[in-house]
Structure 1
């Protein structure tokens, strides 16, 4: 656990050196949101690569309306910091054309992925789909929990329902409590 905390502290300092403290986020800074996402994943006992992907999930900008900390031309450097698998998840999350991809998850047997940076369309990498779903849920949970009043729009709850079969028992347990609290 001590090694994980030291690794987290070092990675947070790296994010801050990229300017994460300079970007406002829901009730705080981007750094706080990134750490919050990491902590949710860590609380679910996810592997370190997924937790680190949660910590860096916005480094290339998570959608076209958000600023990026680094350009995608620095993928090699990020991979050296957090590992290949974690960086692949970060790139997948940042490059995902979410309005195109997210509605397919859980409703289609084959999910097509569109890269918002390149426009390329391909089959979603099946070996990353579960981690992508857990990262997406952790991101949205941190956002909702940091609003003045925790709230989930019906479209977010619907997305969580579609992702439910693809996530771990720990995440399903969290979602069950969320559905009990916010769904009638």
Structure 2
């Protein structure tokens, strides 16, 4: 599972060449957040393609308020960098209309997905749901931990609880500690 450090360094250089250092994020450039998300997924001993998706998870812009490093017309180029499986998850994460989709996860048996780029609604791809949950949690953990004070809104904690059954035992163990600290 572990990616060679030189390979990770190469991927980070690719992101930097696309301008990830110029985009501001919580307490620093976007690059730091992308690497932070990757490292969380790696620590949970998840599949390399999921870790790489974490590293590139904002390349197409992760929500309407954030800039993109590449347009969705360059998906083939991203797939060449990180593999088709990782790129598929990156596109899903970036295209997800999160206010529409996230409240359904764990509350509904079938989750409707709305693509914020196209406006199309379809059934959430079941084969990507667990990885999407892992990536979403890792992203939000990195964001919260890079604020001046680690804090989670009640809606984020509720989302983590709904996603809990869908994630790995390593992720669940980290969430257990988080729930003790912030849900007491």
TM-score in same-fold range (> 0.5)? yes
CA distance in 1, matches of 2:161, 2:2: 35
Q: Tell me how far apart the structure 2 counterparts of residues 40 and 79 of structure 1 sit (CA, whole Å).
A: 22
Equivalents in 2 of 1:55, 1:5: separation in Å? 13
Unaligned runs of 5+ in 2: none
Could you tell me which runs of 5 or more consecutive residues in structure 1 were left unpaired when the two chains were aligned: none
Q: Is the 8 A contact 2:2 2:42 kept in 1?
A: no
Render the CA deviation track for 1:107-141: whole Å, top value 9, x for unaligned: 00000000000011110000000000000000000
The corresponding residue for 2:183 is 183
CA distance in 2, matches of 1:113, 1:5: 35
Query: How big is the shift at 1:7?
Result: 1.2
Quote the Cα distance in structure 1 between the aligned partners of 2:114 and 2:49. Answer: 23
**Partner in structure 2 of residue 63 of structure 1:** 63
Given the two structures, how large is their TM-score scaled by the length of structure 1?
0.98
Partner residue in 2 for 1:75: 75
Q: Provide runs of 4+ in structure 1 moved above 3 Å.
A: none
Kept in 1: contact 2:34–2:56 (CA 8 A) = yes
CA distance in 1: counterparts of 2:107 and 2:4, whole angstroms? 36
| CA distance in structure 2 between the partners assigned to 1:116 and 1:110 by the alignment | 19
Question: What is the CA–CA distance in structure 1 between the aligned matches of 2:56 and 2:90, rounded to whole Å?
Answer: 6
Q: Does 1:109 align with 2:109?
A: yes
**Alpha carbons of structure 1 residues 47 and 3: separation in structure 2 relative to 1, 3 Å:** closer
CA RMSD of aligned residues (A): 1.0
**2:25 paired with 1:31:** no
Aligned partners of 1:122 and 1:49: how far apart in 2?
Answer: 24
Q: Equivalences for 1:1-184 in 2 at 5 Å? A: 4-184=4-184
TM-score, L = length of structure 2 = 0.98
Shift of 1:2: 8.0
Count of residues in correspondence between the two structures: 184
- Provide the rounded CA distance (Å) in 2 between the counterparts of 1:96 and 1:164: 20
Q: CA deviation at 1:3?
A: 5.1
